[in-house]
Amino acid sequence: IHYYNHQRIKLKLKGLSPVQYRTQPLNLTSL
């Protein structure tokens, strides 16, 4: 499951701006 989520995160980050890129990991670790 971790690997699957990690791949999705990479795909998501490709469409995120630098600011969102920094905040995204924080949100994912919160979950």
Residue 28 to residues 2, 13, 22, Cα–Cα distance (Å):
11, 12, 11
CB atoms within 10 A of CB 15: 8
On whether the CB atoms of residues 30 and 23 are closer than 8 A, the answer is no
On whether the CB atoms of residues 9 and 28 are closer than 8 A, the answer is yes
pLDDT of residue 16: 57
**What stretches of 1-31 show up as alpha helix (H) in DSSP?**
2-14, 18-30
Verdict on whether the full-model pTM lies above 0.75: no
pLDDT of residue 18: 55
pLDDT of residue 4: 65
- Average pLDDT for runs of 10 along the chain of length 31: 64 58 57 48
